[in-house]
Chains A and B, each alone.
Chain A
Amino acid sequence: MKLSIQNLTKTYKNGVKAIDNVSIEIGTGMFGLLGPNGAGKSSLMRTIATLQDPDSGKIFFEGNDILENKMELRKTLGYLPQSFGVYPKMSAEDLLFYFATLKGISSKQEQRRIVQEVLEITNLYDMKDKNVAGYSGGMKQRFGIAQLLLNNPRLIIVDEPTAGLDPAERHRFLNVLREVGTNSTVIFSTHIVEDVKELCNEMAILNGGRILKHTTPMEATKEMEGQIWTKTISREELDANKTMFDILSSNFNQDNTLNIRVLSETKPSEDFKAATPQLDDVYFKYLKEDEVNAKTIV
């Protein structure tokens, strides 16, 4: 169960290079795709999900060239898009029956069984007769998972599923996803570092259509051990510090002072304290590097 992407490139009509020569291999388990808004995450995922064709490059899943043989992939694919709509005036159950038919489940009995099961898994059973169009954001995302499960997929693609969910919803959602992900390849995109930390055994950071780093959350933080430093400064000192240090992130305290985290091989100055690297630090490090590189190109 290996997904292999080779030299994938996609440029949109307006000149934006959404995917820029991406090559990556993804194995079983949860794979987190981390990147800011507009990094090309959705484009990449839509391309894998056979919704759009790349300009060049190849994608293989279990040895199949999926760009040439989309139907083969679709048989094993579960896809939850970043945003999706539903037909108005249709209940969750009816829509799931509809999707079950779309996905090739022929027996009415089996359809009934699996629809009931996915409704229970996603805890939507009590709401199955309500129109999906009237669902709240979290319920709709769970419905998205329910439909995705119908064909027992081996490749699952979920595009920013946690955006807009409240903490309890998010938690529940991630639990379901984790459970689903044990036996299949799950590609999970997000711009929330926390999600990846909690969930993924592998990850990549994507920006400007390029993979900046392919690693695991554990390794990534380990790599940066001893390089993260922190100190508290006042609001006015920020600009001065910026020129002196490589600031990865800064956040306000309640008394209007700032905590800054700085990347440095050695202790930058006496007033810094060493800090344990967080996944955030890794994320910001690569984004910042990329920004600098991109600028130098210009």
Chain B
Amino acid sequence: MLKIFKFELKYWFKNPTFYVFLGLFFLISVLFAAISGGIFESLTGSNVSTRIVNSPVGINDIFNGISIFIWFLIPSVIGASVYRDFKSNMHSILFSYPFTKAQYLFGKFLSSLFVVSLIILGIMLGIMLGFKLPGTNEQILTSFNIVPYLKAYFVFIIPNVLFIGAIVFGVVTFTRNIAAGFIAIILFLFIGDIIEIIFDQDKDILYRSLLNPFGGEALYYYTKKWTLAERNVNPIPIQEILIYNRLIWIGVSTILFSLIYKFFQFHQNAISFSFKKNEGERFVKQNFGNIINIELPKVTFDYSFLYNLKASWKFSNMDLKYIIRSWPFIIIAGVGVLFLVISSTTFGEIFGTNTYPRTWQMLLIPGTIFTFFLMIITFLYSGLLIHRSRTSGINVIEDCTTIPNWTLILSKFIALLKMQALLFLVVIISGISIQTYRGYYDYEIGHYLFDIYILQFASVVIWTFLAFFIQTLFKNTYIGFFVLLVLYIGIPYLSAIGIEQSIFKYNQGPGYRYSDMNGYGAFLSPFFIYKAYWTILGLALFILSITLWTRGITFSIKERLSIAKKRFNPKTAISFGVLIIAFFSLGFKIYHENNIKNKRYTQKDRELQRVEWEKKYRKYSSFLQPKIVAVDVDMQIFPKERNFKAIGEYTLVNKTDKPIDSILLNHNDYPSKFEFSKENNLVSEDTVFHFDIYRFKTPMQPNDTLKFTFEIENKEHTALRTSSPIIENGTFFHNTHFPSIGYPDGQELRDDGIREKYGLPKNDLRPHPSDSTALGNTYIAKDADWIDFQATVSTSMDQIAIAPGYLQKEWEKDGRRYFQYKMDSKILNFYAFNSARYEVVKENWNDINLEIYYHKGHDYNLDRMMKGLKESLKYNSENFSPYQHKQARIIEFPLTEGSFAQSFPNTIPYSESVGFIAEVNDEDNEALDYPYAITAHEVAHQWWAHQVIGADVLGATMLSESLSEYVSLKVLEKGYDKQKMQVFLKDALDKYTTSRTFETKREKPLMYNDGQGYVRYQKGSLVFYALSDYIGEEKLNNTLKEYVEKVKFQTAPYTTSEEMVSYIEKVTPDSLKYVIDDMFRTVTLYRNKIISVETEELENGKFKVDIEFEVAKSRYNDKGKVYYNLQEGDTLSYQKEGRKKPLYSAPLADYIEIGIFGEEEKDGKTKEKELYLKKHKITEIHNKVSIIVDEKPKEVGVDPYYKLIDRNSNDNRKDI
């Protein structure tokens, strides 16, 4: 064995490929590590400064990530070690040598494994070096530590290579085909996804962890709830599940190898499959020659261009037949289609509810995965086809016929396009089948064909050009394939080294999106220009491929080049030249448009601008300014031309007690005209930041009024650029496009590390609520408190235009429609304009006009939205205060403008994708009626934002978003049973505990939050929902009512979260005061867990249930670092037998729900039945309770309804 081992090693060490691979991977690793270490920060903008990139987890990720590329080497190293002997026909000689099967197989396998592991060591060294390179950012790098590298190498990578290697070794040994090894690799790339699709439930995480052969999922089991602080320092935890996973898969590898050993035979033939049984026939050849006369029939020959073109088409069918009959194609395409089918079952899912299968959605199904499969097949078969005649040995005959090169290469190109068209047809058929299956019969065949065969096909064709060029260049299909794969994956990431513009990156360019309301909108024109640009280059590459085409027998690169030079005759040169000139002209035109006609800024430029902006203008942040008290806008929307013109008038009042001598005007780069009703000079004009300062001749005295008028319109559109937010159907125009007064701080850099680099002070984002000087502004707008609002909106004849307020007048003039709106009460300076061809549904409820403006055909959920409007209006007005308007409107807008709904005064623009096309299933316990829930949330904002608005300090969004989400849950709860609620609460909980791990700045307690979604929505809703459970819904709402009464429509100083919490605290009993601390004042997470449960049937037919459970509470600082003590030394700890470290907890005197559940039959379905549910006072980490229930228990739980914030929600319940 040692002999074979040594022999093989010698082969590799002498083979230049080994050193090429070693060098290549080393360099890639250096580059990767250096990029993540921030070496290109001077080009690309700064990295987040708080994430340590070479933390143990970071090293493990990058090392494992690069090692995946190694897999593609395995067929050509481990697989080839046996294949080589077959290919060279050595096996017939070799196998007669005196060594045993074991010696041969082990020798071959271990030697090639050794070679691969050496290359991986190269990766390791590369990463180490990459992090150490001068120019990396020291802020994000910690000191060198070898342990994570070794753990990644020995615990993950080597066992994985062993596993993949055993499979590939087996596949290649038995099929004698390296391609088969490649297919195995490609399939294994997706095994993680497959496992994830099969075990998609959160509770299946244990299966996922054990079954994923590469250990990543098992590691994730431990690391997924780590905060950034933990991620930065914690070592890779090599614990139970991970160890089991590794043992299982090393075991599987061993079994695989022993199977190979068992079935391997020296004298074997390749295993082949055939469905056809060939009947044997006896042939006897004619052995006695006779003299014959040859008189060949006269035939005519045609060497014309047209003939050759036809021949291309004819041959392409032959090539196509070859592709679709070959195993690699069948397998890869089969798996691709499988993915298509699987992923189609959950499209558009939000909160467990699917959408109707609209055609545009069917067209998203190919997505990245199916397209990836398509590209893999293209890359592989472009090589196999190009080299096919040479591999089969027929080239020596083909090449001396009269067929021109271009006919041959074109035929193969056409064959590939046909293959792609065929696979795309599968997409269309699947789409239509899914629609039919779901009982949806609105097939838009034209839309299918256009999207697939024009838009999606364009990208594929452009890649195929490159694939042909690369595969012609390389004589080895697999090297070509590898290069193409690296390009395909790598090109989009070129931004990481500062190449940002699409014109420099093959087949990159703007994408497109489709909406029912607005079709493809203005996306198509730039899309086609970029695709034309790349197609031209593709054609030029195609010409190069023809000149480089191998015809006959060539031996050296020099020879090929000299032949290519000869073939590059004037005719070819001219067509190549024309294409290249066209490519560069179009490229220049795009470049000119994006860089010269319009100024282009790189990421880095933008970062520097933000620094400059702050340094230059921050000093004006507390500059006293007048406030807007009234807005009157004449908004002209031209949908067809996608233009707008707005003429607006702000009325400003000096509400301060000091004179104001200058005004700071912040605006956009639209062509605009500004005018003040007071004499002034423009003393500072900034054409980069569009921040101008006007100085009045005479200062504005306190209470003085000033009129400011503006006229803005968009620049002209070009084929490449859209210069206005107006779209053809479904405009959603926000007032942020209008000028505002004062210094806006939203532009400031948030990351303190980056700020330090530029000499900026630390940024606290917003002042603390206790800072009474900071309560002068709402968090919505600095330049206004409450305003009077009126607007005239005009649009085209076929559209309806909407603004907040009540319609006063509607008229037509010069072929346009005009709508005049006026608001009867004061509103926040927060409004928008919508215009589209709407259908309208109207209802009246308690003297409130309810209206929904929707796109024709999107009438699926109007009832649910109407109900949501009513129920939410009812809940809010009954519990808090009366509704301030006489109208509530929902207005649909296209999903291209966003997937959200937003509450403006009496007006709720609502994206088509978040409710209008939802297919709600009331029967499904895990599916949320989100059109209803979102409507309820948005209506609640009419109170929680439009009545109660917080000051611009920390925690302000708690008053609006958390409360709206709380109302939404409460409204939802009315029609739902507890079980269904539990699903959503758990969903919110998991979202919160997962999202907080991605936090890079800081996570503050709810009361002082910085406005992150996961805090204000998920955590906020959980907290208020739990609070209503702890102190009672009525008690909570009553105190909130008092609070609303006091603060609604108030002017400065505005209210804060502290004020609201003080109202809540007032009604909270002392025993529950800790809840306020845990929920509002700190970041507190429980770790509640059922350890064991035992039941015993008693003589009286009752059941005794013994439950052992743990309750532990941990707290986190801003940076995500855990702590347990409230005061020095009061930390609880519990040392469990067999565990290395004790469990810690903050001191406990907490009321935790314990529940016991049975089953009952209801309407023929088994449902969960609550047998026992009570809050127990818990003071220790480790607890045991014994409870007697009447019926047979099935399940127990500690905090079974997920009311508390729990780091791991999967162990709260346990089956008996």
Chains A and B are bound partners: yes
Q: A: which residues have CB within 8 A of B?
A: 12-13, 46, 49-53, 71, 74-75, 77, 79, 81, 83-89, 98-99, 101-107, 110-111, 113-114, 117-118, 121, 123, 127, 136, 138-139, 144, 147, 149, 151-152, 168-169, 171-172, 175-176, 179-180
Give the distance in Å from the alpha carbon of A117 to the alpha carbon of B295 in the complex: 9
Residues in A with CB closer than 8 Å to B285 are: 136, 138-139, 169
B401 on interface, CB distance cutoff 8 Å:
yes
The answer to whether B307 and A106 have CB atoms under 8 Å apart is yes
Please tell me if B622 contacts chain A, counting CB pairs below 8 Å.
no
Interchain CB contact (< 8 A) of B289 among A51, A83, A89, A172: A172
User: Are the CB atoms of A51 and B399 closer together than 8 Å?
Assistant: yes
Are A81 and B397 in contact (CB-based, < 8 A)?
A: yes
Whole-angstrom distance between the Cβ of B510 and the nearest chain A Cβ: 43
Q: Are A176 and B396 in contact, with the CB atoms below 8 A?
A: no
In the complex, whether B273 has a CB less than 8 A from a CB of chain A is: no
Task: State A53–B297 Cα separation when bound (angstroms).
Answer: 33
Which among A87, A121, A168, A169 is the interface contact of B294 at CB below 8 angstroms?
A121
Does B146 sit at the interface, judged by CB under 8 A?
no
Beyond A53-B559, A175-B292, is A102–B394 a contact (Cβ under 8 Å)? no
Chain B stretch 381-401: residues in CB contact (< 8 A) with chain A: 388-389, 392-394, 396-401
Chain B nearest CB: distance from A128 CB in Å? 13
The B286-345 residues at the A interface (CB cut-off 8 A) are 286-294, 296-303, 307, 311, 314-315, 318, 322, 325
Closest to B297 in A: A113
The distance from the CB of B151 to the nearest CB of chain A, in whole angstroms, is 48
Q: Which residues does B use to contact A, with CB under 8 Å?
A: 283, 285-294, 296-303, 307, 311, 314-315, 318, 322, 325, 388-389, 392-394, 396-404, 552-556, 559, 563
Instruction: Pick 11 A–B contacts, CB within 8 A, sort by A.
Output: A13-B555, A51-B553, A81-B397, A86-B392, A104-B303, A105-B300, A105-B302, A110-B297, A110-B300, A151-B301, A171-B289
- Taking CB atoms, residues of chain B closer than 8 Å to A87 are 322, 388-389, 392, 394
> Which of chain A's residues have a CB closer than 8 A to the CB of B289?
168, 171-172, 175
**Other-chain residue from B293, B301, B314, B394 in contact with A85 (beta carbon distance below 8 A):** B394
CA distance A83 to B392 in the complex (A): 11
Q: Is the CB of A104 within 8 A of B394?
A: no
SS class, residues of chain B in contact with chain A = loop
New A-B pairs, 10, CB < 8 Å, besides A50-B399, A105-B299, A110-B300: A51-B396, A74-B401, A85-B393, A87-B388, A87-B394, A98-B318, A104-B301, A106-B301, A106-B307, A110-B297
Complex A-B, nearest 10 residue pairs according to Cβ-Cβ distance, in ascending order: A85-B393, A172-B289, A51-B552, A106-B302, A81-B396, A102-B401, A168-B287, A104-B301, A110-B299, A85-B392
Q: How far is the CB of B16 from chain A (nearest CB, A)?
A: 16
- Which residues of B sit under 8 angstroms from A103, Cβ to Cβ? 301, 401-403
CB-CB under 8 A from A139, the residues of chain B are: 285
Q: Are B397 and A84 in contact (CB under 8 A)?
A: yes
Please measure, in the bound complex, the distance between the C-alpha atom of A96 and the C-alpha atom of B215, giving whole angstroms.
55
Report chain A residues within 8 Å CB of B318: 98
Chain A positions within 8 Å of B554 at CB level:
52
Min distance, Cβ A121 to any Cβ of chain B, angstroms: 6
A53 to B314, CA, bound (A): 30
Q: Report yes or no: A107 in contact with B299, Cβ–Cβ below 8 A.
A: yes
- Chain B residues with CB under 8 Å of A51's CB are 396, 399-400, 552-553
Contacts A71-B402, A168-B288 given; indicate if A101 touches B314 (C-beta within 8 A): yes
Complex CA distance for A73 and B871, rounded to whole angstroms: 89
8 Å CB contact of A114 from B299, B388, B401, B402: B299
The closest CB in chain B to the CB of A48 belongs to: B400
Most buried by B among A87, A111, A113: A87
**Residue of B292, B298, B393, B401 ringed by the most chain A CB atoms within 10 A:** B401
Interface contact A84-B396, CB-CB below 8 Å: yes
Shortest A106–chain B CB gap in Å is 4
- Contacts A13-B556, A104-B307 given; does A147 touch B392 at CB 8 Å: no
Chain A residues with CB under 8 A of B314: 101
Residues of B with C-beta under 8 A to A89: 325
Q: How many Å from the CB of B548 to the closest CB on chain A?
A: 15
The answer to whether B553 touches A99 (Cβ under 8 A) is no
How many angstroms between the C-alpha atoms of A175 and B293 in the bound complex? 10
Q: Which of B297, B302, B556 contacts A117 (CB 8 A)?
A: B297
Q: Please indicate the chain B residues that have their CB under 8 angstroms from the CB of A53 in the complex.
A: 559, 563
Complex CA distance for A74 and B397, rounded to whole angstroms: 11
Most A C-beta atoms less than 10 A away, residue of B289, B296, B298, B400 = B400
Q: Is the CB of B552 within 8 A of A104?
A: no
Minimal beta-carbon separation of A187 from chain B (angstroms): 13
Give Cα A249–Cα B400 distance, bound, in whole angstroms: 39
Cα distance A68–B679 in the bound complex, in angstroms: 86
Q: How far is the CA of A139 from the CA of B284 in the complex (A)?
A: 12
Q: In the bound complex, what is the Cα–Cα distance between A149 and B396 (angstroms)? A: 16
A114 near B297 (CB under 8 angstroms)?
yes
A101, B388: Cβ atoms closer than 8 Å: no
What separation, in Å, do the CA atoms of A106 and B402 have in the docked complex? Answer: 13
Residue of A whose beta carbon sits closest to that of B301: A104
B556 to chain A, nearest CB (A): 5
How distant is the Cα of A127 from the Cα of B286 in the complex, in angstroms?
Answer: 12
User: Which residue from chain A places its CB closest to the CB of B287 in the assembled complex?
Assistant: A168
- In the bound assembly, the distance between CA atoms of A96 and B987 in angstroms comes to 67
Option from B400, B404, B556 in Cβ contact (under 8 Å) with A79: B400
Q: A85 CA to B291 CA in the complex, in Å?
A: 28
- Looking at the assembled complex, report how far the CB atom of A10 sits from the nearest CB atom of chain B, in whole angstroms: 10
Are A102's CB and B398's CB within 8 A?
yes
Contacts of A110 in B (CB 8 A): 297, 299-300
CA–CA, A105 and B556, complex, Å: 34
A279 to chain B, nearest CB (A): 22
B303 touches A176 (CB 8 A): no
**Contact A152 B299, beta carbon cutoff 8 Å:** yes
Complex Cα distance, B299 from A107, in Å, reads 8
A107 near B300: Cβ-Cβ < 8 Å: yes
Instruction: Return chain A residues, CB-CB under 8 Å to B296.
Output: 114, 117-118, 149, 152
Q: Please, which residues of chain A bring their CB within 8 A of the CB of B311?
A: 101-102
Chain A, residue nearest B391 (CB): A85
- CB-defined contacts of A149 to chain B, threshold 8 Å: 294, 296
Q: How far is the CA of A176 from the CA of B293 in the complex (A)?
A: 9
Question: In the assembled complex, which residues on chain B have CB atoms less than 8 Å from the CB atom of A176?
Answer: 292, 294
A104–B303 alpha-carbon span in the complex (Å): 6
Chain A residues whose C-beta falls within 8 Å of the C-beta of B553 in the assembled complex = 46, 51-52
Bound Cα distance from A172 to B297, whole angstroms? 22
Q: Which residues on A sit within 8 Å (CB–CB) of B322?
A: 87
Contact among B283, B292, B402, B556 for A104, CB-based, below 8 A? B402
Give the Cβ gap from B306 to chain A, nearest Cβ, in Å. Answer: 10
A149 to B563, CA, bound (A): 29
Q: Considering only CB atoms, which chain A residue lies closest to B566 in the complex?
A: A53
Whether B392 contacts A179 by the Cβ 8 Å rule is no
Contact check, A99 vs B286: say whether CB atoms are below 8 A apart. Answer: no
CB contacts (< 8 Å) of A111 on chain B: these are 299
Kindly provide the distance from the CB of B936 to the nearest chain A CB, expressed in whole angstroms. Answer: 65
Give A61 to B1157 CA distance when docked, in angstroms: 97
- Distance in angstroms from A254 CB to nearest chain B CB is 28
Q: What is the distance, in angstroms, from B570's C-beta to the closest C-beta of chain A?
A: 15
Q: Which residue of A lies closest to B398 (CB)?
A: A102
Residue of chain A at shortest CB distance from B401? A102
B559 CB, nearest partner CB in chain A, Å: 7
The CA-CA distance from A12 to B392 in the complex, in Å, is: 24
Closest approach, in angstroms, between the C-beta of A284 and any C-beta of chain B?
30
- Which residues from A are CB-within-8-Å of B388? 87
Cross-chain contact B291 with A175 (CB below 8 angstroms): yes
Assess whether B401 is in contact with A179, with CB atoms less than 8 Å apart. Answer: no
Is A101 in contact with B299, judged by CB distance below 8 angstroms? no
Chain B: minimal CB distance from A140 (Å) = 11
**Distance, CA A131 to CA B285, complexed state (A):** 16
Q: Which A residues are CB-close (under 8 A) to B298? A: 152
> Is B555 within 8 A of A113, CB to CB?
no
Which residue on chain B has the smallest CB distance to residue A152? B296
Nearest A residue to B403 by beta-carbon distance?
Answer: A102
Contact B300 A86 (CB under 8 A): no
User: Which of A71, A102, A103 has the largest count of B CB atoms less than 10 A from its CB?
Assistant: A102
